[in-house]
Amino acid sequence: MERNDFIKSLGLGIALVCTGSCLSGCGSKGSDPQPNNPGGNGPAPGTTANVDLSTQLLTVGASLTVNGILFIRIAAGNAVGSFAVTQAVCPHQGGALSWIQANNYIQCGLHASRYTSAGAILAQPNDGGTTSALKVYTPTISGNTLSVNV
Ligand code: FES
């Protein structure tokens, strides 16, 4: 083998090794965020969720998810206006939504989109996608039971 042929074949080998390692590095990793409920459109019609106000949501800023519905206490007292109620699953790709009392917004755990307690969008997902406003629900109160029937 001529020296030039050897160098050319060596260069091709290195290129193949580099390409292979680069492609394997581009594959999905276990730590990549994955949608946990793609297409989160909120709970199905007919879904009911109840909260016992004698033991739950006792302080302003407390929140609770029941049957895919996020309940947030936004004011003292047990009036309908004391609570914000939204879907608990992100419309973008189904991440779990949480109330962040310190910042006064709802945030998605998957791509960090943010919403007001009234469901309006404050920040789009951090993956370049777009989300939509949250569905909100008007609860009823009977005795110590706060309820939503979708
Ligand atoms: S799933 Fe919520 S921002 Fe992507």
Per residue in 101-128, pLDDT (tens digit) is: 999 999 999 999 999 999 999 999 999 9
Flag whether 123 is in a domain: yes
Flag whether 32 is in a domain: no
Flag whether 26 is in a domain: no
Mean pLDDT rounded to a whole number for the chain: 82
Flag whether 37 is in a domain: no
Q: How far is the CA of 27 from the centre of ligand 1 (A)?
A: 21
Flag whether 2 is in a domain: no
114 lines ligand 1 (CB under 6 A): no
How does strand 48-52 pair with strand 97-100?
Answer: unpaired
* 3-class DSSP state of 69: strand
Distances, alpha carbon 34 to alpha carbons 19, 92, 95, in Å: 26, 12, 8
- Report the number of distinct structural domains present in the chain: 1
Flag whether 27 is in a domain: no
Q: Residue 7 pLDDT more than 80? A: no
Among candidate residues 74, 91, 92, the one with its CA nearest the CA of residue 83:
74
43 lines ligand 1 (CB under 6 A): no
113 lines ligand 1 (CB under 6 A): yes
* 3-class DSSP state of 20: helix
The domain that contains 66 carries what CATH number? Answer: 2.102.10.10
Flag whether 29 is in a domain: no
CA angle 76, 81, 83 (to 5 degrees): 70
Give the domain range for residue 61.
Answer: 48-149
Query: What are the pLDDT digits (tens) for 86-95?
Result: 999 999 999 9
Flag whether 36 is in a domain: no
